[in-house]
Every structure is written in structure tokens, then in C-alpha cells.
Structure 1
Amino acid sequence: MTFQRASGILLHPTCLPSQFGIGDLGQPAYAFVDFLERSGQKLWQILPLGPTGYEHSPYIMNFSTFAGNPLMISLEQLAEDGLLNSEELTPLPSDADSRYARVDFAQVIPHKYGLLKTAFDRFQQLPSSPDYETFCQEQSWWLDDFVLFMALLEAHDYKPWNQWEPALARREPAALQAHAEALQEQVTFHRFLQFTFFKQWAKLRAYANQKAIQIVGDVSIYVCHNSADVWAAPDMFKLDPDTFDPAFMAGVPPDYFSATGQLWGNPVYDWDKMEQTNFKWWIDRFRATLLYVDIVRIDHFRGFEAYWQVPGGETTAMNGEWIKGPDAKFFEALKAAIGSLPVMAEDLGIITPEVELLRDRFEFPGMRILQFAFGGGADNAYLPHNYVSNCVVYPGTHDNDTAIGWWHTASENEKYHVAQYLGYDSPDQVHSINWEFIRLALASVADLAIIPLQDLLDLDGKARMNDPRYNDGQWRWRFTDASLLSPELSDRLLKLTHLYRR
């Protein structure tokens, strides 16, 4: 699918200002949509919205690919609904530097869940809500498994599901029924959280759509082993038949980000089994995603053509092999089931002609990253003069440093190449690399240009969202001063957006 020429901003909701230590779906999210509108932007790109586990990565450690993250629920909106009172909305301390704030999950989680539990207790005292009943019925195909999984996970101190008693791991109906009854309160609590999250998210998305702003959602190709997804459908994954541990793990071989590759640890799909069901699991996943976003960015798109498979027990991704994926058969089935596919393809890393052929066959725009463009020859595919129109250009993504952070660590060769490309005699004349990259992106022939908010705010590497070389301490950046989204910044971006017909 091709897209009309437009631009937008990359910002995960957790990065928004909030007095409760983490960005949410409350008033600052609506203010951000207003900022997008004032700035002439048509796209808001987010990361996956699911409930996160280890190290809070929204990509590889979600407890469900279908559920929403309760930490994004707006407590102020719960107060407006009469489920909390203003005296209970105790703020958490904020960081001194509002541009480089960090989510302190150790503080946020107990504080926020305590208030969510209070709201739930009051919700239970109210007459039955038709909206709640409708949500539970319509979403029961994934919701029932998820809420029971979360209640069981908590009851087992978050041990992986394959370490629970065998009857639960193997989903024997009598065991599931008995535990569902014993854990009814927690099961219902998680239903309430999901209803509340998607109620608030649907309202926010509708607000954006009314302003002609589309949400670009992110689908990670893999799911977490310790998730409701794998527990509910183990036959769809390559697992050890006795232990249910991953028989093979996902990752990528050594690349730009890591000399030993990236070992994600997720189980890989049993694509033969999936094909026997006409890819029903994946079709359901896309349908669910498109209920809540307008455009789907497929993370690690190349895994559909061939994927890097590492034997279970390995500690790095080096000893893996490429395995053929479902290729065009999957997307043909998806297109037949859904129709037009509003998809962007994350085609970074080791990309072969076969991956490009698959991407182009379905007219999915690929990605171009300006931070990858410099220091080599004029034929570098990431240099703007080599772009095709059907692509998406970024100064950098959530996995890259900010433009300023990149500039501080770039080689002299890269800096001189940038200077020459921009028409300067030396790197000393390049004073605002972030705005130079923003201009390059917006001016390019790429149909879509998406700018990380950190680059618009002139932030250095301390505002990086994720560094794939490390697990600890990622996914925490946020800003806490709403006035940073100033009229002056809107005007500056709007002028460039109009200048380059975005």
C-alpha cells in the first residue's frame, strides 16, 4: 500500500508528561495531539501498547500481544468517572531536569496499581455497565485467556507458565476452571484494567482521527515466551514438547548494533503449523491491532522471508542459522482476510534481495535512517538522493541515539561527509545537526517522514529511548514540562512541513 505525502512524530505515550511518574492517556496526550495538529503533522507513531515485563521493553517481554498496558491508564480520567477522588491523586516526585526525566518503575508500579485497585473496588459497587459487558463479550477470544494468565502469573510469583503445575501448563480444563474460580477477584480486576485501557485509548485515538491524525502502531514480530499468547497457543511455537521451553530462540546475527548479534530469547513460530490454520493466529493479531491503530509498522519485517533461529540454551545469537519464513503466502492470506494492508515494513539490518522483493510485491514502504547514511559512498541506500518515494525516512528510530547524541559520537569521516552533503566546508559549520536531519527528512522524496520528538526538542543522547546493545535501564526516557511543546516549536515545524509539502 502506498501513502500520501505526510510527516509525523515518534513518541511513546509513556514519555508524555504526567504527575504520576509515567506518561499516560490523559490530558497531556490530548495536548500532544493538539501540538501535532498545530505543527501540520498527520502521523503519531507509537511503540507497542502491551503490558510489559522484564526491563519494561514494549517489544520482547509483553505479557500479551493483544492487551494494553495498565500503567498508561489515566488516573485523572478515573477521577472524572467517579472511581477516584482528587485527594487520592498523590503525585510522585519529578526529575529536576524536565527534558531528561526517567520512569522509575519501582516507584510507579506500586503507586499506580494501588490506585487502580481502589478504582476497581468502586467500579464493582456500581450497577453493571453495558459498555463493560460488551467489551468483555466482544474481546473474549483473547481476553479470557489473558486475564486468567495474569491472575495465575501473580499467584505463582511471576514464574514462567511452564514452571507452574503441569495441569495448568498443559491447560487441562478442570485445573483452569478450579483456578479461575479461586482467583475470581484478580481475574475480574484484570478485565477491568483492560476495559479501562481500551476505553481511554479509543477516546484518544478518535480525538486524533478527528484532527486528521493517524496513529502508526508497532507490531513486534515475536511475542514473549512467558505470555498469555504462548501459554494459550503452544502449538504455534517451536517449544520443547516436555518442558515447553523454547526449542529455538529468535534474534539477529552480528550487525550494526552488536558484535555478538541480538539474542531476544523469544520462541520462534512453527510456521508449518500456522500455515495449516491459514495463519489464523496472525490474522487475528492484525485484526485486533487495526481496531486500535490506523497504520501498522511491522518490526523485523525480514523475519517473514527468513528468520534467525538460535538453539535453546545459547547465550548469544552467534550460533544461529537462517530459516525460511512463510514469505508471500502469509501476506496473501492476510490480504484475503483483511483487504488493503496499511503496513510499513521495518527492513533494517541484513536485508537480502528476497526481502526487498517481498516488501515491494505488496508495496509496503521500507525505512530509511539518516544516521546510517554517512561515511561511505554515494550509493548508500540511506542517502536521500537514493530514496524511492514509497518509503519512510527517520533521522533515527527508538533504537538509535538522538541526532545530537549521534553527532557527538560520529567518526570524523561521517562528520565530513555530512558537512559536504549539506553544503558546508567543514563539520565546524554544522551547528544544529538535529534540525539539519529534520530538514533532510522532510525535503526528501520519501512519502512519509517521521521525526523523534527528542530531535525536535534539541536533546542529546541522555534522551535515548533504547540502546539494543544493553538490556538494563532502557525504555525510561520521558519529558515532564508540557511547555516544551511551545507555539514557537510548532511554528518552526509547520513552516518546514508546508515548505516541503508534507
Structure 2
Amino acid sequence: MISARASGILLHPTSLPGQFGSGDLGTGSYKFVDWLVSAGQTYWQMLPLGEVGAGNSPYASNSAFAGNHLMIDLEELVTQGWLDASDLIPNPEFNADHVHFDLVKPYRIERLQRAALRFFSAPRNSAHSEYIEFCISEKHWLDDFALFKAVEHHEQFQAWNHWPEELVRREPRAIAEARLRYVDEIEFHKFCQWCFYRQWFLLKNYANARGIRIIGDVPIFVSYQSADVWEHQALFELDASGNPIVVAGVPPDYFSETGQLWGNPLYRWDVHARTGYTWWIKRLEQAFRLFDLVRIDHFRGFANYWATPAGAPNAIGGEWMPGPGENLFEAFQQAFGELPIIAEDLGLITPNVIELRDKFNLPGMRILQFAFGDNDSNYFLPHHYIANTVAYTGTHDNDTSLGWWNSATEHEKKFALFYLGSEGKEINWDMIDALSASAANTVVFPLQDVMGLNSEHRMNFPGTPLGNWEWRFSWNWLQNWQTEKLEGLTASHHRNPRVP
């Protein structure tokens, strides 16, 4: 349970300003932490930190453990002596208000390769010792992740079950030979992960020392084309050839009339149970190291999950299947004691989802944009909130609040104006104020809503494969009056722990 009143901002690090095509763990992140403090905030919530997958989605990573090498602060590598300042001439085609992934990826990878070459060529020093220690401590996932990346590249990014048979089946001799054959590339990927983790913990320590806590995001499912599925094939619903039998998604809902077909392979929960949920425990252990709180995406999938036959054109023909339920969370409790978890309990929620959430005293989520479609009995209206709740104006999957308002129905607008006591001139601030004044102990606002931005600044549109996850902002968009207004609201609603 989250017991103290506080508020925070939802912003993915790639959305930060920076001269190398996307935000990263460098100067922009530290400046944003300082801004959070000045605005009276306690939480920085972000999306998953793993490498981006299909459609550049952070929810389709090729590892449940690896960090996104595109977030590595290149300027810090200059201070380490692994890059020269002349290596960091920005591409003039980089855009300040969106991430052009096709330009950013090769630019950053090339610089990381230069840095790795200089690191491994330099005389051994304390940094090399730290690198070796990291490789040893993270061996349980790092070795296979780095090998996966190397083999994937040499197999021209084919699905892993189309690799040579002996590698698909992970025959020990073939794995050992591949580790020798691709040793340089393996070391490169390990170097990148070391840089990411080293920089991440420096940033997290900086934030924590200033009273800022980090809320991370753990997707319930993992990508098929991932080191996790390749390494742990028995834990997933795969046929004898390694193809998924059923895949993840959700039935038709608010976001899509045909449902959402995510395509992730589903878990063999009976096999996980026989292992004592070891893989999941290691996954959460890593998340609890990286973050102060962890939002688990699609929490309802632990109670029941939507299984669609692989190859189906959409998610309509799926069926609900029983998840691991309380057995998994009892294993978590036994491993960790207190569970700093936020349950993303949105969508079609059944009583067993609520029972699972409440049995382990996990806060659920409320979205204010969902509140005005009917009447005052709506679950998402602030007068229904309880303390153990995390409330949002909207999430990364929603439109901005101004964008929502501009496309809202007449009923929604009329009801929202009445309920919020609003004139509609600053609907984003009226929504922020209503959440901040509510009983929910934790409230989170997308940065777009603080800045009053429209639909052009939306982060993701579920069900659309292109054009998502690219949004960025510039510091001059964030005005002093917005910072002061947010700080004032936060203090007046007793959400700023720095104010007596």
C-alpha cells in the first residue's frame, strides 16, 4: 500500500530534450529531476527501459532484463575517455520534437561501438574491474542476452526458431562454439549494458537523494523475438518447432473494436509453478533494484488472460484462460515481503482481478479521462477514489487531456464542466486540480497535460503500428508559471513532503 500523499509526472526518458536525437540518461534527465523538485513532485514515472522492439515500442523488448542502449549518455563516455568530443557532432536531421528512430539508432550504435573499442583497447584499470564485476553479477541474464544479440545479427534478424537447429535447441556444444565465434560482438553488448546500468544507478541515486522516487513499468508479457523466450522455451506456449501456439492480446475494448492482438507468446503457468516461479522472481528482483515502485502492465492477465490462436487476423476469436492468481503473488511475498507494485487494472475487470489486487493490498489505477461518459456512478470519478489508488489524468495510451477534450462528446463536455466546476478554458488544469484534491494517495500527470499540449503530442495510439513512442519536448515549452502552478496545487493538497 502507498500510504503517503504525493504526486508525480509521467515522462519517458527518450522524450527529454537532448542534441543526439532522443532523450537519454544524461544532462536532460538530471535537469528533469531538478525540475520535479522545483514543481513539488515526488514521483517520476516512465515506460519500460528495455530495448525497443517492433514499431519502436518499449513494450516489445528483446529482453526482460536488458536496458535500452539508445538511452546511454554519450557525453559521459567522453568524460570517461572512450569517445572524443569530435565524435559527437549531431546529425543535422535530428528533430527536437520527435525521435527519428531510423536516424537515432545507427548514430548512437556507431558511437557506442567506438567507445567499446577504445575501452577494450585501453590498459586495464578500475573501470575494467567494474565491468568484469557487472558481467559476473548479471550473468544469469547477460550472457544469453549478449549471445542472442550476436547470433540474431549474423542470422540477418530472422526469428530465432529459424536459426541453425543446434542453436534453436540450445545444444551446449553449439552454444559454446557461438560464444567463441562471436566473442567481440558479445563483449560489445555486455559493454553497452554495463554503461546503461552504471549510468542508470547514478541517475537513480541522484533522484533519490533529492526525494524523487522512480516508478518503473514491467510489461506482463515478453516479446517472442527475445533472449528470454529463446533461453527459456519450456516456460512459454510453443510448439515443437518453437512457434507460438497462442498469443497475447485483449478482446474488443475502449481502444479497438477488434481488440488488440499483441502477439506475445503466452506463459505455461504450470511449468512456472513447478519451478517456484523462479524466472518471475528474478525478473521482479531486477525491477525492484531499478525502481522504487513498479507498475505491472496488464495486471488482469494474472487472474485471467486473453489467448488468441497464433496467426489469427485479430483478437476477436480469443478466449479467457486462468492465470496463476494468488499462487504467484504468494511466491512474490515470500521472496520479497513488501510488494512495491502498482496494479494496472484497466480494461475489462472481473471480480477475481479485484480480489487478487486487494488480497495483496496493491494500489490500482484510475483514469480521469474515462470518467465522464455516463453519470456520477462512474468508477473513475474522483469522489469514488480510495487512498490506496494511483490516479492519472491519462496514461501514455491516452490522448493528452486537451486532445481528449477537443474530441469529447457533448455529454462528456457538459458533465465534465459541471463536475469539475470548470469554464473549459484550461481543462487540463481543472483535471489536474481535481485529481490532486482527491483521496487518492498518489496522482500522476503526463507532462503534456502540465504544458497543455494537444493531440499532436500524444505518445501512443493503441492498435496503430506506426508513428508511436516518438514524442519529445523542448525546455522552452515548459513555462515558469506552469511549474509554479503545479507546485502550488501540490502544496495546497498536502502532496509535497518538502512543505510542512
Q: Which amino acid aligns with 1:66?
A: F
Q: Does the 8 Å contact 1:9/1:41 carry over to 2? A: yes
Deviation at 1:92, TM superposition (A): 2.6
Cα distance in 2 for partners of 1:400, 1:93 equals 31
Matches within 5 A, 1:50-449: 50-59=50-59, 61-93=60-92, 101-128=97-124, 129-241=128-240, 243-424=241-422, 429-449=423-443
Q: Which amino acid aligns with 1:48?
A: P
TM-score (norm 2): 0.97
Q: Which amino acid aligns with 2:108?
A: K
Deviation at 1:218, TM superposition (A): 0.2
CA offsets 1:436-486 (integer angstroms, 9 cap, x no match): 11111111110100000011111100110000021111111011x223344
RMSD: 1.1
Identity, in percent, stands at: 48
Compared CA separation, residues 130 and 485, structure 1 to 2 (3 A): farther
Cα distance in 1 for partners of 2:215, 2:483 equals 21
Q: Does the 8 Å contact 1:28/1:482 carry over to 2? A: no
Cα distance in 2 for partners of 1:343, 1:122 equals 41
- Tell me the SS of whatever aligns to 1:355: helix
Q: Which amino acid aligns with 2:118?
A: R
CA offsets 1:210-246 (integer angstroms, 9 cap, x no match): 01111000000000000000000000001012x2111
Q: Which residue number corresponds to residue 494 of structure 1?
A: 487
Q: Does the 8 Å contact 2:234/2:271 carry over to 1? A: yes
Cα distance in 2 for partners of 1:126, 1:206 equals 28
Q: Does the 8 Å contact 1:402/1:463 carry over to 2? A: yes
Cα distance in 2 for partners of 1:134, 1:367 equals 39
Deviation at 1:95, TM superposition (A): 6.8
Q: Which amino acid aligns with 2:315?
A: A
Q: Does the 8 Å contact 2:2/2:442 carry over to 1? A: no
Cα distance in 1 for partners of 2:481, 2:194 equals 38
Q: Does the 8 Å contact 1:84/1:118 carry over to 2? A: yes
- Tell me the SS of whatever aligns to 2:237: coil
Deviation at 1:23, TM superposition (A): 0.6
Cα distance in 2 for partners of 1:333, 1:127 equals 46
- Tell me the SS of whatever aligns to 1:389: coil
Q: Which residue number corresponds to residue 39 of structure 1?
A: 39
**Alignment partner of 1:26 is 2:26:** yes
Deviation at 1:94, TM superposition (A): 6.2
Q: Does the 8 Å contact 2:20/2:94 carry over to 1? A: no
- 1:482 maps to which of 475, 478, 486: 475
Deviation at 1:423, TM superposition (A): 2.5
Q: Which amino acid aligns with 1:31?
A: K
Cα distance in 2 for partners of 1:465, 1:416 equals 27
- Tell me the SS of whatever aligns to 1:79: helix
Cα distance in 2 for partners of 1:160, 1:493 equals 47
Deviation at 1:90, TM superposition (A): 1.0
Q: Does the 8 Å contact 1:465/1:476 carry over to 2? A: yes
Alignment gaps of 5+ in structure 2: 496-500
Deviation at 1:188, TM superposition (A): 0.4
Deviation at 1:372, TM superposition (A): 0.1
Matched residue count: 492
Q: Does the 8 Å contact 1:309/1:321 carry over to 2? A: yes
- Tell me the SS of whatever aligns to 1:250: strand
Cα distance in 2 for partners of 1:93, 1:357 equals 54
Cα distance in 1 for partners of 2:141, 2:123 equals 25
